[in-house]
Amino acid sequence: NAGVMQNPRHLVRRRGQEARLRCSPMKGHSHVYWYRQLPEEGLKFMVYLQKENIIDESGMPKERFSAEFPKEGPSILRIQQVVRGDSAAYFCASSPGLAGGPNEQFFGPGTRLTVL
């Protein structure tokens, strides 16, 4: 069973460009989470999605950031008009839809975004 896949692993963008980060959850997992890790800091929650639905986007910046998890295909985190402050590692995690206690979140290897 392959783990959580993220691509690209490294992404370089110039200010004003768009960044698209992809996350394929583990097989059988229907819940996806995105976290951002700024340099020298811990991971900060951004958004939580189930198939075709955003459940909690309380950690998403109000502008330029969006996320989706379509019925088919990977989850996408999209950052429009990137700025230098968006440079960070973006981690995706997935969990199964099991009831009873917190489902373990399995993390991908992350995408390191560098904005020039």
Q: Which chain residues interact with another protein by CB under 8 A?
A: 31, 33, 35, 41-45, 48, 55-56, 58-59, 89, 91, 93, 95, 97-105, 107, 109-110
Encoded tokens for 36: 């951002």
- Bridge partners, 113 (sequence order): 11, 88
Q: Are 13 and 19 in contact (CB under 8 A)?
A: yes
Residue type, 23: C
Residue 16 CB, nearest distance to another protein (Å)?
A: 27
Alpha-carbon distance 87 to 84, whole Å?
Answer: 6
Nearest CB to another protein, comparing residues 58 and 72: 58
Residue type, 79: I
Nearest CB to another protein, comparing residues 18 and 41: 41
Nearest CB to another protein, comparing residues 79 and 92: 92
Residue 102 CB, nearest distance to another protein (Å)?
A: 5
